[in-house]
């Protein structure tokens, strides 16, 4: 993962150098932090124990679902690509992004996110990922893509959907998005027997209780994942409400100014 991660960082930074008006440093730092988060999840000691301890595996999942995606979206890579692309090629890229809006709307994002969370934690699929490394890596990619889709409507990521979610819409979206993680996390936390049998022998070798480890994994998804989603989601919802209020105030001010200039009493 080091080579593709370094490539993503280099391409991003090279694109920022093509802009004549500069690029906000906070966006570049956000992108680099997101790439670093993916590396920590897949290239550190976490990856060394993800097939031996379910709790460690769940930490890896949270990094790919909850931490890396908002950081990557904060880098605004699509906007950067549009601005760094030559004027001749920019229209074709814009058209492709416009077509992709049909796949990145709030309903579609929620459906994909929920399906990935529930589907990948079914015992048959989960056990298969522990036996087949290629499937395991594909699961990681699924989490990253699902996380990007889920966070995009909340953070107004690119490509912007045809209709942005307002403050109340983001709150409802957040509540629905939290449900799959809460259900799976609560199930793992409270289940009386081992859900994923392959974790039994490694846990015994490490001298830990596999059921306790499973309960910790469920708590990580249920509690930690919920806290992160609530914090970021509420911030996004409040920011959207403040922006809506500012737009309403600006419209009222313009209407009042126009009425005054025309000699009519303001509404």
Secondary structure class of 266 (helix, strand, coil) = coil
Instruction: Determine phi and psi for 18, rounding to 5 degrees.
Output: -80, -15
**238 within 8 A of 166, measured Cβ to Cβ:** no
**31 within 8 A of 68, measured Cβ to Cβ:** no
Q: How many helices (H) and strands (E) does the chain have?
A: 14, 0
The per-residue pLDDT for range 227-242, each reduced to its tens digit, is 888 888 788 778 777 7
Rounded CA-CA distance 162/243 in Å is 18
Secondary structure class of 250 (helix, strand, coil) = helix
pLDDT value, residue 92? 85
Rounded to the nearest integer, the mean pLDDT of the chain is 87
Secondary structure class of 241 (helix, strand, coil) = helix
The per-residue pLDDT for range 148-177, each reduced to its tens digit, is 999 988 888 776 666 677 778 888 898 899
Average of per-residue pLDDT across 49-53:
88
Positive/negative CA dihedral, 80, 69, 109, 168: negative
**214 within 8 A of 191, measured Cβ to Cβ:** yes
240 vs 132 pLDDT, higher one? 132
Q: What is the pTM of this model?
A: 0.85
pLDDT value, residue 216? 94
Rounded CA-CA distance 161/179 in Å is 23
pLDDT value, residue 226? 87
The per-residue pLDDT for range 63-78, each reduced to its tens digit, is 999 999 999 999 999 8
Burial of 144 (0-12, 13-18, 19+ CB in 10 A): buried
- Residue 196: closest CA among 127, 120, 125: 127
């Amino acid at each position: 993962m080091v080579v593709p991660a370094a490539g993503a960082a280099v391409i991003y930074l090279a694109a920022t150098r093509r802009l004549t008006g500069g690029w906000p440093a906070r966006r570049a730092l956000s992108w680099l932090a997101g790439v670093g988060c993916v590396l920590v999840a897949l290239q550190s000691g976490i990856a060394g124990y993800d097939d031996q301890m379910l709790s460690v595996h769940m930490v890896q999942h949270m990094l790919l679902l909850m931490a890396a995606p908002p950081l990557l979206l904060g880098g605004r890579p699509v906007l950067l690509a549009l601005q760094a692309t030559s004027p001749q090629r920019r229209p074709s890229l814009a058209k492709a992004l416009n077509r992709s809006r049909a796949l990145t709307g709030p309903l579609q994002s929620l459906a994909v996110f929920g399906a990935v969370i529930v589907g990948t934690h079914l015992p048959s699929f989960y056990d298969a990922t522990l036996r087949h490394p290629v499937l395991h890596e594909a699961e990681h990619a699924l989490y990253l893509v699902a996380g990007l889709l889920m966070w995009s409507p909340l953070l107004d990521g690119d490509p912007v959907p045809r209709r942005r979610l307002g403050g109340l819409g983001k709150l409802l979206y957040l509540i629905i998005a939290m449900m799959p993680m809460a259900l799976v996390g609560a199930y793992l936390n409270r289940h009386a027997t081992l859900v994923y049998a392959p974790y039994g022998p490694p846990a015994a070798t490490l001298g830990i209780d596999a059921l306790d480890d499973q309960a910790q994994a469920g708590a990580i998804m249920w509690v930690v994942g919920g806290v992160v989603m609530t914090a970021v989601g509420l911030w996004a919802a409040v920011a959207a409400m403040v922006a809506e209020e500012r737009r309403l105030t600006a419209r009222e001010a313009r209407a009042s100014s126009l009425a005054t200039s025309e000699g009519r009493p303001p509404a």
